[in-house]
Amino acid sequence: MTQDGKERKKRIIEKVLLKDTTTKLQLSFYCAVMHILKQYVCTFQSSNTMVHQLHEKQFRTFKEFLACFMKSEAVVNLTSKQAKVMRLDDPEVILKLKSCYVGAQAELILKTSSKNDSPVQIFLSQVKDVYIQCASQMQKTLPLNNRTLK
């Protein structure tokens, strides 16, 4: 690669990955949320058999995830039967965008950015959609109401 090519590559990386507000926000958000899901995955990678705790861990993970974007009163007394059929996009139980959990780093970026900044507004609207889509997938695939695992 020529010297000009190396410099161009460096500028692009700097602009897209290091200075772009949208990229920083998204990466920070995904790192924070992935931590919740990673704890659940580690259950299966453990050397100890934990089938007796599987249902409890699945349900706890689902509730933790819901607590990131839903009002606490909708999550606290939630049963596994209710969790399996609840509407995840109900505006009555979803938190306001600025109250959703985005992680400490993303929160710091949001505080230093202008509220009218286009990347910030786009990011906040995407956060809600990501949460609802991921929770819907969890609701479909996790055996939350499985009598055998209880």
- CA of residue 105 relative to chain centroid, distance: 14
Domain assignment present for residue 146? The answer is no
Domain assignment present for residue 90? The answer is yes
pLDDT of residue 19: 67
Q: Is residue 69 within 8 Å of 99, Cβ to Cβ?
A: no
Kindly indicate the confidence band of residue 18, based on its pLDDT and cuts at 50, 70 and 90: low
Domain assignment present for residue 147? The answer is no
pLDDT in tens, 96-138: 988 999 999 999 988 888 777 788 888 988 999 999 999 999 9
Q: What is the pTM of this model?
A: 0.80
CA distance 143 to 65: 16
- Domain limits at 121? 3-141
Domain assignment present for residue 110? The answer is yes
Domain assignment present for residue 150? The answer is no
pLDDT in tens, 56-89: 888 899 999 999 999 999 999 999 889 999 999 9
Split into its structural domains, the chain has a count of 1
Nearest to 127 by CA among 65, 55, 69, 44: 69
Domain assignment present for residue 85? The answer is yes
Q: Is residue 121 within 8 Å of 61, Cβ to Cβ?
A: no
With tokens 């997938």, the residue in question is 137
